[in-house]
Structure 1
Amino acid sequence: MSTLRIARPALALLTGAAVAAQLLTGVPAASADTPADTAPVSVTVNTRAGLATASDTAVGANHAIWDSNLGTNETADLLKAAGVKMLRYPGGSYADIYHWKTHTAPGGYVAPGTDFDTFMSGAKRTGAQPIIIANYGTGSAQEAADWVEYANVTKKYGVKYWEIGNENYGNGHYGADWEADDHADKSPAEYARNVVAYSDAMKAVDPTIKIGAVLTAPANWPDGIVAAGDQATWNDTVLSIAASKIDFVILHWYPPHNDVADVLTKTAHIPDMIHLVRGQIAKHAGARAADIGIAMTEINSGIAYNTQPAALFAADAYAGLMEQGVFTVDWWNVHNGIGTISTVAGHTDYGDFGMLSSAGCTGDVCEPPFNTPFAPYHAISMVSAFARPGDRFVRAATDEPLVAAHAVRRTNGDLAVLLINRDPDGEHQVKIGYDGFTPAAEAPTVQTLTNGATSVSTGHGGTATTQTLPPYSLTTLVLNPAAATTGAPAAPGQPTASDVTDKTATISWPVAAPGASPVAKYEIHRQKGAVTEQLGETPGTSLTVRNLVPGTRYTVNVIARDTAGRVSWASPPLTFTTGTPAKSSCSVRLRDTNDWGNGYVGSVDITNTGTAAVDGWTLHFTWPTAWQSVSSGWSGNWTQNGTSVTVTSTPDNGKLAPGASTSVGFVGAYSGPNVLPAAFTLNGALCTAE
């Protein structure tokens, strides 16, 4: 279990955020400067591989009642300039001690000028929607309902999003107790029962509001842990009881890390993190699953807070979460306060979680003047300019781990590409290739944030296909298409999958609106990184795709092509996972029987379901990610090569008569979302996975 650290707000007596991270400082090991003759980094952007659409609340930040500048015009104007479209109130763990009617937080500091109406005035000036945390820890459903009535009936503010509590798993039930909770029963079941009560009471006042329940982020404490007296994890318990009463789930993410370089790699966890959460929602919400959104209402690098590495992390994480359909990503915090001073990448880091300076001092070291933007502020402003509400993310990938890429297509036909150079010392030449888009010949508009810069620079430079990325930098290109895109069909609507087996799936989609010519056919494209492969085509609106790989996650898009050859933009993405054979000569069941947050005891049950006896067996499976491994195993001979795991029988369990079973076990380790394998072979035969 990762060490728990807490975000310490300025002038606060309680914490604003629980940070499952090791707060280290320093500069990552220097890499050699890129030699002039080094091959350029290959970047691929594929507009046929559509991802999620940027929501109108995607770029957000946290406000806290201990920040006396929460409602000032200067702060609001800075947030507006950064494109912040959602503001969270009243501030992390303070929410579970805050009583809105009296504007008090017993045990904590409440600054003047931070009441709800002042916050709403600032949010309006910013142009941001509010997201409000109802007091679960020391409050009641009636208190929350009264707040909804005041906000939306009396004042007509139209507050849409309401969270029930903050980090309520931190109430002592799992051993750490930073979150206030007056309930005698501190279990996830009790929290879920209260979510139901809060939802009923609050929606009785205003049925149009959206209610959010607190979950734990996969691979972040206490995810995976079943506490004493519980039957399941926090997430499974909460969703099993409250899924029918909520409209979104709430995640917080402060990635556990070893150092600066390590935290910059953690954004690779995002697709699997969100995939697992969507799977948990689908398991418990059934037909409502598609209507339950995901909100990341606290996020921070937890290291190098005010310097360029945090900016690189912020841009990569915001873009990565948005392209997975997270509807808001809210930085912790607008103002937070000075912490431990260090030097990172040649610049002073003040240990301040804030986007903006609080002008605090430690000894003879003082922060810059009040409201001076720190590096993450500039990164967040670049994200809001890069991916505007309504822009559709498309796949982008690179062949260099130190360079990351994201891309969006815009409704006017333009394309924007965000390039992130995570190399602290070496610039990188990049060569950009496009699939489904031809850029205009003129030089693109370029935005750049370099290490130590106090603002984002804008100009024209390089070409649409070649750019030079400075060390530790963010670069955004905005590209016009070479030719007008008018006349093409509209993108097909959201596809769905049915009758999914081990090797087939039926994909269906709504009819696409034609452009200048009738739609001739639809093509189904599978995403493989930034490359796509066509799985089939049809003149209709449904197709059964075949020859799929069992136990494999597929993401596909549908594209319409008209009789003149014009091609639509890609549909929204559809992700599904193929199963294993309904009948086989073997069956395998893998279970996580005891999890502690970054490791677990695994049990694998093997059954001979064939008609012939087995005399000696070899079990094989592959981990879905590179951060999963077998630490040790028993009742078999365990070996791992890369992500491939092989287990061979022992003299004691090698003979399996028809219908006979045996079990083997292992200790598994993971440092990211623990997506369990879905396909197994026994003596080369694909087994039925239970």
Structure 2
Amino acid sequence: MQTAIPRRVALGAALLAAATALAGSPMPSAFAAPAPVSVIVNTRAGLATVPTTALGVNHAIWDTTLGSDAVSDLLSGAGVRMMRYPGGSYADIYHWETHTAPGGYVAPNTDFDTFMSGVKRAGGEPMIIANYGTGTAEEAAGWVKYANITKKYGAKYWTIGNENYGNGHYGSAWEADNRDDKSPAGYANEVIAYSTAMKAIDPTIKVGAVLTMPGNWPDGIVGTGDTASWNQTVLSIAGPHIDFADVHWYPGGGNAAEGLTRTEHIGDAVYLLQKQIDTYAGANAGRIKISMTETNVEHGRNTQPGALFLADAYSGLLANGVFTVQWWNVHNGMGPVTEVAGQTDYHDYGLLSSGNCNEDNTVCQPPLNTPFAPYHALKLLSSFVQPGDQMVRAGTNNALVAAHAARRPNGDLTVLLLNKDPENAQEVDIDYRGYTPSSAAPTVLTYANGGTAISTAGSASTLPPYSLTLLTLKPAAAASTAPKAPGQPTVSEVTDRSATISWPAASGAAKYEVYRANGAVSEQLGETGGTSFTVRNLQPGRRYTVNVLARDASGNQSWSSVPLTFTTGAPATSSCKVKFANTNDWGNGYVAAVDITNTSANPINNWTLDFTWPTTWQSVSGGWSATWTQTGTAVKVTGDGPIAANGGTASIGFVGSYSGPNVPPTTFTLNGSVCAAG
């Protein structure tokens, strides 16, 4: 994180209030207590498995305590197992061999060996940023040699630069880049050179390239002289030479409440990023993983909004398969002082207090290394998810209450509940699907607003205002000899109405059950004794997420497979075709061209085109050559003229707006008929 840059985000407090009102249960009378929030925890809908690298933070070379025992012990106590160095944009001016950063401040005792000493003490592993902006591939290769050959540190993860799209190519410049070619193609070609040189020294390392998070600037923008966006260009050129995509996410928001709604974007953003990787990165693109190496909030960074966002964002990203999430950062320093929900917020990106004061010494932070609220959230998170746990789907019927869950190899189930309401407690009623808890009361940990530590005195059914509550449950029966979970499902023969799901056989399985995730609920699509199943009666242009579970001859059910997500297409043939194209994107809006072709033998004199936005943060701002209306997420377009038979085309267009990941519509209906893709 560096100087302010355009983060295109705007949901509005009114939207949050509306979402909350819709999600809440109506009161039957003025004197009746509100119904409890309904929480569903569904172990049949497995998500990603938690890796050892899951919980991470950033270290920066301007932090004098970077490698100190006190800081390492605090990070170890919070479960941190991955630490990034040398810190944001400083990475693109930092020369590791001389331990200098021309134009920036380098604090004493922050060299690479000191950093690695702290990583070792904390029981973690490093992620290192090679200097792209003012460095060379040879310099990066020398760092690999020193780290892994000379010192035998075994540093596995290396990224090429920091936020290199911020080099001025798209108009905003904060990232150092002394190359003449500042285009995404220029960066991609250098990534190949870096990766080749670095892996020649140690072929076991993993190399990451910098991409943009879908829905965040400059995602979707095509720069001057380019033919495609940053992500498409970098992946198309450098994809075969990288092992992971490195993204940052500062979702912003006009206030604390609005910022806490941004976690709703995670599923669609990761889906779009993975789709870009699969589409553009070439053969074997499935090996490319995703790292989230910087994230934080705009409002309430040191107080409960920061804690709530951290827990919600880490959980959501890990559930979607991101292999590490890293907070920005450990220490950062004071900004404008405000009060958030009764607590002093120093507008400090750090997990720990820097112990400094404002310019006139009228306001000072707590003593050095005092944990801020996000630190306590991270510590609670380390009790929620541990390496080897499988995250499972959970959800609620109230926008102000978030739920996440994970299943342990020993059969335990952990449930993380977040109350984002700063004023009101929330009663919850939890429905466990595919899991029977023991009759013993769950272990409860709570971190409440203003707390200086995690409490063991919380309630399993009442969530205090602005709080994080963790439940740990034991299973009703000891682990049985159930079959192993099926392996990663794959999909083939996808049409508009069907798809074939296949999976590796599971040891001990007599049959398999295929489930579709519908929110937090699983709907069984069918069962089979084989290792493939064709799902029929699907809807065109719909995204589906499925899991496979195995049962043995005694009826014992396995854990869930990891999920498979696929999208059905448009019909192969129809009486109409629709071509949709984003012709000019500027980061929170775009111009779309829509061509409607009549492939039937009869002219269409009066026509209506219908489509639905995949998300609630997309809209039509205005259109032409037709009458455009939108109700909720549904868009209706009424034609101004006839469309001739046998290939006649009506060309229309609109200006689209978005404040999150811009997922394109995939299905269009003309006068009730689903159209083929144009």
Q: Which amino acid aligns with 1:614?
A: I
Find 1:665's aligned residue among 634, 640, 653. 653
User: Pairwise mapping of residues 491-502 of structure 1 onto structure 2 (< 5 A)?
Assistant: 491-502=485-496
- Matched residues in 1 for 2:32 and 2:250: separation? 37
- Matched residues in 1 for 2:405 and 2:9: separation? 31
Deviation at 1:22, TM superposition (A): 8.7
- Asked if the contact 2:614–2:664 (Cα under 8 Å) also holds between the matched residues in 1, the reply is yes
- Asked if the contact 1:527–1:533 (Cα under 8 Å) also holds between the matched residues in 2, the reply is yes
Query: Under a length normalisation based on structure 2, what TM-score does the superposition of the two structures give?
Result: 0.96
User: Pairwise mapping of residues 293-312 of structure 1 onto structure 2 (< 5 A)?
Assistant: 293-312=289-308
Q: Which amino acid aligns with 2:421?
A: D
- Matched residues in 2 for 1:22 and 1:380: separation? 25
- Matched residues in 2 for 1:496 and 1:18: separation? 40
State the Cα deviation string for residues 224-273 of structure 1 (Å, max 9, x = none).
11111111111111111000000000110000311110000000000000
**Root-mean-square deviation over aligned CA pairs:** 1.7
- Matched residues in 1 for 2:108 and 2:9: separation? 33
The alignment status of 1:489 with 2:479, answered yes or no, reads no
User: Pairwise mapping of residues 5-24 of structure 1 onto structure 2 (< 5 A)?
Assistant: 7=2, 20=7
Structure-2 change in CA distance of 1:322 and 1:645 (3 Å): same
- Matched residues in 1 for 2:547 and 2:137: separation? 43
Deviation at 1:658, TM superposition (A): 1.1
Match of 2:628 in 1: 638
Match of 1:218 in 2: 214
Deviation at 1:513, TM superposition (A): 1.2
The alignment status of 1:605 with 2:592, answered yes or no, reads no
- Asked if the contact 1:21–1:257 (Cα under 8 Å) also holds between the matched residues in 2, the reply is no
Find 2:244's aligned residue among 221, 240, 248. 248
State the Cα deviation string for residues 575-632 of structure 1 (Å, max 9, x = none).
0111111111111111111111011001101111222222221111000001000000
- Asked if the contact 2:598–2:643 (Cα under 8 Å) also holds between the matched residues in 1, the reply is no
State the Cα deviation string for residues 204-237 of structure 1 (Å, max 9, x = none).
1111100100011111111111111111111111
- Matched residues in 2 for 1:95 and 1:143: separation? 13
The alignment status of 1:404 with 2:402, answered yes or no, reads yes
- Matched residues in 2 for 1:598 and 1:530: separation? 30
Deviation at 1:110, TM superposition (A): 0.2
Q: Which amino acid aligns with 1:596?
A: W
The alignment status of 1:377 with 2:375, answered yes or no, reads yes
Deviation at 1:104, TM superposition (A): 0.2
Q: Which amino acid aligns with 2:388?
A: G
User: Pairwise mapping of residues 549-628 of structure 1 onto structure 2 (< 5 A)?
Assistant: 549-628=539-618
Find 1:361's aligned residue among 341, 357, 361. 357
- Matched residues in 2 for 1:413 and 1:474: separation? 23
User: Pairwise mapping of residues 227-238 of structure 1 onto structure 2 (< 5 A)?
Assistant: 227-238=223-234
SS class of match (1:492)? coil
The alignment status of 1:70 with 2:60, answered yes or no, reads no
Match of 1:135 in 2: 131
- Matched residues in 2 for 1:493 and 1:291: separation? 16
Q: Which amino acid aligns with 1:497?
A: V
SS class of match (2:410)? coil
The alignment status of 1:169 with 2:183, answered yes or no, reads no
- Asked if the contact 2:8–2:217 (Cα under 8 Å) also holds between the matched residues in 1, the reply is no
State the Cα deviation string for residues 548-568 of structure 1 (Å, max 9, x = none).
111000100001011111111
Match of 2:432 in 1: 434
- Matched residues in 2 for 1:260 and 1:447: separation? 24
Match of 1:419 in 2: 417
Find 1:268's aligned residue among 253, 264, 268. 264
Q: Which amino acid aligns with 2:491?
A: A
State the Cα deviation string for residues 105-138 of structure 1 (Å, max 9, x = none).
0000000100000000000001111000000000
Match of 1:470 in 2: 464
Q: Which amino acid aligns with 2:660?
A: G
- Matched residues in 1 for 2:653 and 2:192: separation? 39
- Matched residues in 1 for 2:364 and 2:523: separation? 55
SS class of match (2:46)? strand
Aligned residues: 663
- Matched residues in 2 for 1:390 and 1:36: separation? 44
Deviation at 1:20, TM superposition (A): 2.9
- Matched residues in 2 for 1:630 and 1:641: separation? 10
Match of 1:689 in 2: 677
SS class of match (1:665)? strand
- Asked if the contact 1:630–1:667 (Cα under 8 Å) also holds between the matched residues in 2, the reply is yes
Q: Unpaired segments of 5 or more residues in structure 1?
A: 1-5, 8-14
State the Cα deviation string for residues 502-543 of structure 1 (Å, max 9, x = none).
1111110011111xxxx2210100000111111111000011
Deviation at 1:283, TM superposition (A): 0.5
SS class of match (1:366)? coil
- Matched residues in 2 for 1:593 and 1:19: separation? 21
The alignment status of 1:200 with 2:196, answered yes or no, reads yes
Q: Unpaired segments of 5 or more residues in structure 2?
A: none
Q: Which amino acid aligns with 1:547?
A: N
SS class of match (1:329)? strand
Match of 2:643 in 1: 655
Find 1:511's aligned residue among 505, 509, 515. 505
The alignment status of 1:391 with 2:389, answered yes or no, reads yes
User: Pairwise mapping of residues 303-342 of structure 1 onto structure 2 (< 5 A)?
Assistant: 303-342=299-338
State the Cα deviation string for residues 339-372 of structure 1 (Å, max 9, x = none).
1111111010011100000001013100000000
